[in-house]
Structure 1
Amino acid sequence: MSLIDRERGGGVAPAGPPAGGRRRPPSVAEVVRAVTDGGPPVRITGYDGSATGPADSGITLEVRTARGLSYLLTAPGDLGMARAYVSGDLALAGVHPGDPYEALALLKDELRLRVPPLAEALELVRGLGWERLRPPPPPPQEAVPRWRRLMAGLRHSRVRDSTAISHHYDVSNAFYERVLGPSMTYTCAVYRGPDDSLEQAQATKYDLVAGKLALKPGMRLLDVGCGWGGMVRHAAREYGVRAVGVTLSRAQARWAQAAIEREGLGELAEVRHLDYRDAPSGPFDAVSSIGLTEHVGVRHYPAYFGALRDRLAPGGRLLNHCITRADNRAPHRSGAFIDRYVFPDGELAGPGRLIGEIHDAGFEVQHEENLRRHYALTLAAWCRNLVANWDFCVGEVGGGTARVWGLYMAGSRLAFERNGIQLHQVLATRLTPDGVGDFPYRPDWTP
């Protein structure tokens, strides 16, 4: 009995062989049923008119083109789904593309994929035609695979890091303004409660960082990976600190420096377009790194934290804020979707590895906290902003890029909620050569 003979139901009517005795190719619905265990949890419709899955599902996954089916078949898993979705060949009805969180949660919880037995798989391929297994060109939003990036240098070399940062951050400042909100802060906020606004939570985060660093008027702060200068401007405006920020994104540096001048902070604050390895030597009273460590590369941690240590005066404090794996055994490299569409060459370590590397670089680790749940709330707020400004964002960066962001942020929210990834703040101090430091016996900031 063939696959097509026995995989009936789900809204696809049986069809015998047409005149001439040749069997028609399997429908999209039949392909879906062949590769799912127990059927899909959502309604799935095909460009050929076939359908499968619960008819009363509030969410429908639409395979709109033959190219979309080829994307799904030639790159099983998140990469094929992403290619089809970003290109518009796969659509989700029932959820907004700026926030497909509900659909992702349902698919993660209930979709069970299966690998058909060899004979069944071969029959399926023969019915579809071998040309269906020829990978279509990926959407233009996709970065080249890791092996091809060697043309730009070794992983985490200066040139390659610059290319990776540009891929993600030099999208459009106007786009980021609509998604991130007035603070232009692209890192985890800190919520005192779920009813806080995004702007309140971002200000709370900056105050928390400033408190941990014990910032006071006249102190010197270096903020590496400063983005659009949020911490630099906050430290100068609220604490009277002389702050220097460095970012590898030209677009961020231009926006940040213009904001500094617009806010009248030019005598205290400055943002430079620099690699963190070329940051001013200091010495600084405090160093903040908020969201840069993810781009450094785990094997470069010793050099990275060593560079930050060398820029601190003895007794100075470092606050490192970054995404981590939930445990220390997980792979460092990200999955295919994140690597190709979001953070090329991004790497995450577990919290134990992170703290150990800071310690081994010559710091004394004083405090650590996990803000995982706060990042889930932050991402939900960014998705709401994307939905509210969808038409503008699509006009600014195109529908494909806007869909990448909705998918990435909603998926990341789910990962933080489910403890797939975490966000850790680590506070450390540089001691004097004889081990002396002035860190208080108890924390001197407001939690």
Structure 2
Amino acid sequence: MTDMKTRPGEPRSTGSDQLSIGALVDRLLKGGMPLRFTAYDGSSAGPEDSPVGLHLANERGLRYLLTAPGDLGLARAYVAGDLQISGTHPGNPYPAISALKEHTHFEMPPPAELLRMLRHVGLSNLVPPPPPPQEMMPRWRRLMEGVRHSMTRDAEAIHHHYDVSNRFYELVLGPSMTYTCACFPSETATLEEAQFFKYDLVARKLGLQAGQRLLDVGCGWGGMVRHAAKEYGVKAIGVTLSEQQAEWGQARIRSEGLEDLAEIRFMDYRDVPEGEFDAISSIGLTEHIGIKNYPAYFTALRDKLKDHGRLLNHCITRADNRSDGGAGAFIDRYVFPDGELTGSGRIISTMQDLGLEVRHEENLREHYAMTLAGWCRNLEDNWDECVAEVGEGTARVWGLYMAGSQVGFEINEIQLHQVLAVKPDASGRADFPLRPTWLS
């Protein structure tokens, strides 16, 4: 069989009976290979002067690429160690992802050409290998395990993502143990300063005062709960579906002598018995709720507020309101199972339809890109200890996910919105200041 025709600049086959892997990948990848690519058969593709390179180390990696074309196959090969990156650290693959961001989809050639290509590399490479152990089952199979966003399934999804290792999170997130977007008061602020500023911004938007009661849903390791208690004298309850988070957070509360004001519970927000809160914060939870559940979610929070109480919702959003919400295959199977995103307009309209009065919203998109860059640096700086704690495959998942998310925020594929609402009383009075007090 003769070699296939190549595009201008495309690597040619290594022989008349076999198409090189470099030529195959370059042909299939949308727009061609933007990095220097080498493969175990000795072939290559992409610019020779690229500062960042990819190396496909073995046949299993090729099978991953061919049986799950696109970001999932690339992720599987990378997590398994079959696709290796040079010129950047595995804890911070941002340079490679930034270069690949427009090239992760496969462009399938006409069927006859595709069949010839596959025969060249061997039809046996169309047998998918078992995925890396970090991968969850696909969404369609999870549907057989329970109703999506039921309490049981939500708990399993949270466990998959957050119960990795508290020590691992300490190394990646830093002393604040805050796994949500920071807010940088200046470009020179440190990550810790930006996380403190974020919590204080939320507190000021909520108008927290000593003696008030705060409910923080999806509280993580309790950063907002402790900040409200320590800095504002607020009696704060936090709830999380991660038992490891609750244990860590409650221990930190005891060590800081905040037991009289702060409490973290291993509990679903739907099971909180108390009501009549002065304020509710939801920082990074809405992504796990499911779009169709927004009305029930915001109704539950509204009903736990007293009249004139304020709600601050802080979550990742899409740049438009047209998406069906589903995440890509890599994010869904490795990072946020069942996670869904939509635009801020969908969130605001749902809140308004339920009688919550939206008073302010802002987009912190650039701040999340800066936050993720900080986390990637932490993972890189603490790589050996992180690998010892969770294994190299899991550490690679986190590097890939965080660097990829950083790119997503930079190119306005995803955003981060804070939406502030108040619960008016029966007469429509909101007891809200004429001008925002948190901007001074």
Structure 1 stretch displaced more, 100-109 or 219-228: 100-109
Distance between the aligned counterparts of 1:253 and 1:38, measured in 2?
Answer: 47
Q: Which amino acid aligns with 2:231?
A: E
Distance between the aligned counterparts of 2:234 and 2:391, measured in 1?
Answer: 40
Distance between the aligned counterparts of 1:8 and 1:290, measured in 2?
Answer: 50
- Aligned pairs (5 A) from 1:99-248: 99-109=92-102, 113-248=106-241
Answer whether contact 1:3 1:120 (CA < 8 A) is retained.
no
- Give the match's secondary structure for 1:246: strand
Answer whether contact 2:3 2:15 (CA < 8 A) is retained.
no
Shift of 1:416: 0.6
Distance between the aligned counterparts of 2:182 and 2:11, measured in 1?
Answer: 46
1:88 matches 2:81: yes
Shift of 1:30: 2.5
Distance between the aligned counterparts of 1:439 and 1:170, measured in 2?
Answer: 39
Shift of 1:10: 6.5
Distance between the aligned counterparts of 2:84 and 2:14, measured in 1?
Answer: 26
The residue number in structure 1 matching 2:293 is: 300
The residue number in structure 1 matching 2:34 is: 41
Shift of 1:14: 4.3
The residue number in structure 2 matching 1:429 is: 422
Answer whether contact 1:289 1:320 (CA < 8 A) is retained.
yes
Deviation by residue 1:173-227 (Cα, 9 ceiling, x = unmatched): 0000010000000000011121100000000001100001111111100000000
Distance between the aligned counterparts of 1:430 and 1:185, measured in 2?
Answer: 28
Q: Which amino acid aligns with 1:265?
A: L
Does the C-alpha gap of structure 1 residues 8 and 213 become closer, same or farther in structure 2, counting only changes over 3 Å?
closer
TM-score normalised by structure 2 residue count:
0.96
Q: Which amino acid aligns with 2:318?
A: R
The residue number in structure 2 matching 1:19 is: none
Shift of 1:31: 1.3
Answer whether contact 2:93 2:403 (CA < 8 A) is retained.
yes
The residue number in structure 1 matching 2:20 is: 27
Deviant stretches of 4+, over 6 Å: 7-13
- Give the match's secondary structure for 1:286: strand
Distance between the aligned counterparts of 1:299 and 1:259, measured in 2?
Answer: 35
Structure 1 unaligned regions, length at least 5: 17-22
Deviation by residue 1:238-285 (Cα, 9 ceiling, x = unmatched): 100000000000010000000000111011100000011112322111
Distance between the aligned counterparts of 1:14 and 1:99, measured in 2?
Answer: 33
Answer whether contact 1:3 1:124 (CA < 8 A) is retained.
no
Distance between the aligned counterparts of 2:341 and 2:13, measured in 1?
Answer: 48
Structure 2 unaligned regions, length at least 5: none
Q: Which amino acid aligns with 1:92?
A: I
1:438 matches 2:438: no
- Aligned pairs (5 A) from 1:305-320: 305-320=298-313
Does the C-alpha gap of structure 1 residues 434 and 164 become closer, same or farther in structure 2, counting only changes over 3 Å?
same
Q: 1:352 aligns with which of 311, 329, 345?
A: 345
The residue number in structure 1 matching 2:355 is: 362
Q: Which amino acid aligns with 1:33?
A: D
Q: 2:370 aligns with which of 357, 368, 377?
A: 377
1:98 matches 2:91: yes
How many residues are paired up? Answer: 440
The residue number in structure 2 matching 1:394 is: 387
Does the C-alpha gap of structure 1 residues 37 and 278 become closer, same or farther in structure 2, counting only changes over 3 Å?
closer
Distance between the aligned counterparts of 1:413 and 1:52, measured in 2?
Answer: 27
1:78 matches 2:71: yes
Answer whether contact 1:99 1:406 (CA < 8 A) is retained.
yes
- Aligned pairs (5 A) from 1:228-307: 228-307=221-300
Q: Percent identity?
A: 62
- Give the match's secondary structure for 1:300: helix
The residue number in structure 2 matching 1:15 is: 15
Distance between the aligned counterparts of 2:139 and 2:79, measured in 1?
Answer: 20
The residue number in structure 2 matching 1:405 is: 398
Does the C-alpha gap of structure 1 residues 53 and 232 become closer, same or farther in structure 2, counting only changes over 3 Å?
same
Shift of 1:436: 1.8
- Give the match's secondary structure for 2:259: coil
Deviation by residue 1:395-436 (Cα, 9 ceiling, x = unmatched): 101111101111111111111111101111111111112212
